[in-house]
Structure 1
């Protein structure tokens, strides 16, 4: 944890919250509304006030994007509803994991727990090299020194649980080799890349007609400027420049099709979620694949991380089902 702001956002949208408390009878007074439950399971109640506290960074972002009247914007309201559900689910997950830590006797003894909390806290503080800057960062992120330490405490305990969940996860050489064989382009000496152009159409019929025009010798850039639905094509003639084979910013179906097109030729119509493409492979730059032994441990580490995350996610989802969580959406 090197940045307090990142910690706050992680707490808000994906990770965990501070311990929940019970709520009293619900009335329509502001105080009672804050105490109204948004979720219950076992002896745990998560209140509207607790959810609202964790939603504060999201509200700040919505205000920055949509203005103070964000609540009247349909898109902002939809985003707000989505984020509330995600934040609430992460709060529930945290409470369940902390309960499991107690049940499995995984909570460190107090002296060791305090030592780890202070170490992580000091590491964050040292990153700022200035007391004033550190306190300003805490304030901007919505933390006090006490609440940051409470957050760290929960995550230390949660780390013990995730370690326990994943203690038996292993990746052998055979699995590494299988991944290596199926993903050769990830292990080239330099990233393979392709210079590609495309024309984007709404329908397959339109794409077929464009392909016929190109087959008859019409200039690709000229046709792209004339008919492509991609705004940038009006200037670029559909030219996307060089793209690395594994560039995650591009649709996977599009990239697979582009790579499959022989250099200097044009594809048949290809459908993606964006529409129908006619793709031109202008030039490929491909490099030798590194030997398996030189990348085996990197593959193992990546697969271990992925499989551990899946094991943790699956386990927590099962714990949530077992907890029989009751939601009070009308109170959110």
Structure 2
């Protein structure tokens, strides 16, 4: 057992960090239907150097356990192997796309990645050179390494997206399906009751009663609000609160129950609330109603079409990818062994 541990210690820099320690960046760690995954590609994706550097900066004891004990080293190797397994699946996806007649060129991927990096640098108010410098100083490698990682991820992403487009192109939604969804999900298409109201807010009950007396004597509610309300948000617009629904966060629950059951034109209050004393005038009411099918038809079509496409895609991918993977020749060579 001790000999095995010493062997692992010796192999650690070769297997975990070969491009840094041995220069073996072109070493093949997997073969997938004749296409290779190199140690350089794996190391870029696993990004162990940056991960361990981050761990060391937070907890040196945990870093030591990971890099100097048998359990820690085996954990790192297992992590790297999991990353490699994911990369094998990603390469299989790229190959499956090509098999289905979908060609994603390196030139196309390169242009998209370069544009995204330029846009990122621009959004940060920096140049590509400055972004490169930042990446190096932050322990993320350089811009070229980032480009390689992004290109790999993007090629897989585009493969999946375009495969899905092809597989689900025949998906359609019928009129009967739209009507059925509408009838069975009417709660989704109901509008909430809403109220347009004016409000006067005062600090004392006496001021609220004074405001109410002025309104009852014929004074315009908006004028009284402008003169006496202490609500800085609405007093300059005559107490106008605009439209709001029952879930409005600025209303006390007790007041909410009252004003949403009052008729247009009602003067309500004064009510003692957490803010002070409040008086309301109901200006307009929109009762809850069912939105007509014609107005939500497009939304329903999109919902049903998306659901159909997702089911078609998941069924196809599960079957086709698994079959393709079974028929594929995959060799895992990480650490010099074969699987």
TM range (shorter): 0.3 to 0.5
Normalised by the length of structure 2, the TM-score is 0.43
Task: Find the structure with the greater CA-based Rg.
Answer: 2
